[in-house]
């Protein structure tokens, strides 16, 4: 008889089961972003919560995936990525950022940039290591830190321009700092880090011998003449940067789960090992399609940014009219808003009201902060949606009364 069978009563069975569950997993909640998508479906609401495009991917990229399956590319790729894709990633990084990397030793293709980030963290972190994280931050970074065993040190990005205090950032670094996570263009704020800001971060990384883990998944979604600068392109950062990127946002294929980590060889080695035992590899035919996608001409990226600019301005108009104070994003496809004008107790009750009564799903601001109170007056909208979706949201939000 097992210990669980031997115990009597439901409470004891639960207690016995709880004993063997992970304390790490207890420390974070389900993703609020993904939960909001489920609530949107349940209430038949317009989903402006989860950042996935609801319009088609390019015909060329879809055809490449179909062709790869027809060509019987149906078995495992090399665990750290199909050669064609790694070669294409290296060529594109050099073309766009002037950074030369060796596809044989410095690129690990993963199941989305989510896994690339997790494999990176697990590949570099030891007990006692600290990781500096700007907040508000993409919600995954919290669990990434917990699961890898890092202690997060949060540094505030402050509205309206989401700048950071240089002294506060300097104080967050110390002898235990293993890395800083930099997400530019930024989710959820839309901030695009300037060269001066990146250089300031660079100097701290050099001084404290820390890595920069940069999430650059929105690199091509950028407005108002802003420029995306890869941390790895800065003097002195080539060998202490791990660049995370992927196909999801650039090619509108978030469900394909193809991402990658670019890191110097000695850092790629542990990343590759962790990745191998986590997932073995990303879908082989989709990696093949990725090799085609990454060779698309410059005009593709120009059109992408132009299309999103129209959507951003449309959404800013809709939200301002509905009574939100908007923080205008310079990049990515989210708008953080201030909801003070509506008189709700907090962001979660407001988001619940929006999805249940108004019919629009958003992400409560608190899910981007370590301390929920910091986001209690904010919610995030995404606008990576087709015009008919944005129009439907506009109609529903017109029923919202500023309180």
| Contact with ligand GLN (CB under 6 A) among 32, 33, 110, 316 | 33
Reduced 3-state DSSP string for the chain: CCHHHHCCCHHHHHHHHHHCCCHHHHCCCCCHHHHHHHHHHHCCCEECCCCCCCCCCCHHHHHHHHHHHHCCCCCCCCCCCCHHHHHHHHHHHHHHHCCCCCCCCCEEEECHHHHHHHHHHHHHCCCCCEEEEEECCCCCHHHHHHHHCCEEEEEECECCCCECCHHHHHHHCCCCEEEEEEECCCCCCCCCCCHHHHHHHHHHHHHCCCEEEEECCCCCCECCCCCCCCHHHCCCCCCCEEEEEECCCCCCCCCCCCEEEECCHHHHHHHHHHHHHHHCCCCHHHHHHHHHHCCCCHHHHHHHHHHHHHHHHHHHHHHHHHCCEEECCCECCEEEEECHHHCCCCHHHHHHHHHHHHCEECEEHHHHCCCHHHHCCEEEEECCCCHHHHHHHHHHHCCCCCC
| Residue 50 in the binding site for ligand GLN (CB under 6 A) | yes
| Contact with ligand GLN (CB under 6 A) among 51, 53, 136, 365 | 51
> Which CB atom, from 138 or from 141, has the smaller least distance to ligand GLN?
138
Number of residues that bind ligand GLN (CB under 6 A): 7
Nearest distance from residue 298's CB to ligand GLN, in Å?
25
Nearest distance from residue 139's CB to ligand GLN, in Å?
7
> Which CB atom, from 128 or from 255, has the smaller least distance to ligand GLN?
255
> Which CB atom, from 148 or from 189, has the smaller least distance to ligand GLN?
189
> Which CB atom, from 148 or from 187, has the smaller least distance to ligand GLN?
187
Nearest distance from residue 114's CB to ligand GLN, in Å?
6
| Contact with ligand GLN (CB under 6 A) among 3, 25, 27, 34 | 34
> Which CB atom, from 138 or from 369, has the smaller least distance to ligand GLN?
138
| Contact with ligand GLN (CB under 6 A) among 47, 177, 186, 187 | 187
Residue nearest to ligand GLN (CB): 51
> Which CB atom, from 138 or from 173, has the smaller least distance to ligand GLN?
138
Residues forming the site for ligand GLN (CB under 6 A): 33-34, 50-51, 114, 138, 187
């Amino acid at each position: 008889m097992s210990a669980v069978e031997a115990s009597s009563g439901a409470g004891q069975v639960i207690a016995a089961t709880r004993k063997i569950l992970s304390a790490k997993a207890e420390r974070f909640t389900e993703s609020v972003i993904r939960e909001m998508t489920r609530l949107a479906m349940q209430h038949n609401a317009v989903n402006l919560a989860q950042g996935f495009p609801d319009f088609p991917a390019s015909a060329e990229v879809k055809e490449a995936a179909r062709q790869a399956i027809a060509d019987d590319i149906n078995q495992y790729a090399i665990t750290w990525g199909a050669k064609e894709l790694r070669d294409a990633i290296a060529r594109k990084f050099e073309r766009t950022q002037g950074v030369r990397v060796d596809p044989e030793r410095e690129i690990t293709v993963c199941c989305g940039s989510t896994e690339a980030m997790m494999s990176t963290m697990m590949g570099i972190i030891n007990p006692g290591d600290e990781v500096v994280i700007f907040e508000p931050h993409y919600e995954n970074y919290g669990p990434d830190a917990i699961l890898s065993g890092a202690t997060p040190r949060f540094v505030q990005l402050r509205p309206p321009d989401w700048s950071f205090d240089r002294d506060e950032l300097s104080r967050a670094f110390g002898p235990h700092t293993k890395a800083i996570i930099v997400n530019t263009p930024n989710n959820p704020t839309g901030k695009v880090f300037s060269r001066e800001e990146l250089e300031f971060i660079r100097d701290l990384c050099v001084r404290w011998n820390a890595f920069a883990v940069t999430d650059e998944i929105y690199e091509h979604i950028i407005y108002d003449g802003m420029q995306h600068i890869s941390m790895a392109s800065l003097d002195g950062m080539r060998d202490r940067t791990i660049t995370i990127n992927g196909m999801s946002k650039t090619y509108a294929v978030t469900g394909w789960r193809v991402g990658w980590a670019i890191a110097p060889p000695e850092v790629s080695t542990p990343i590759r090992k962790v990745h191998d035992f986590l997932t073995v590899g990303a879908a082989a035919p989709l990696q093949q399609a990725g090799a085609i996608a990454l060779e698309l001409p410059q005009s593709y990226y120009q059109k992408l940014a132009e299309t999103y600019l129209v959507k951003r301005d449309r959404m800013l108009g809709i939200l301002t009219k509905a009574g939100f104070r908007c923080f205008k994003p310079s990049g990515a496809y989210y708008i953080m808003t201030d909801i003070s004008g509506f008189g709700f107790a907090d962001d979660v009750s407001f988001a619940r009201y929006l999805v249940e009564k108004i019919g629009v799903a958003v992400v409560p601001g608190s899910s981007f902060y370590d301390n929920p109170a910091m986001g209690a007056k904010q919610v995030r909208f995404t606008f990576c949606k087709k015009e008919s979706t944005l129009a439907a949201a506009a109609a529903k939000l017109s029923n919202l009364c500023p309180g």
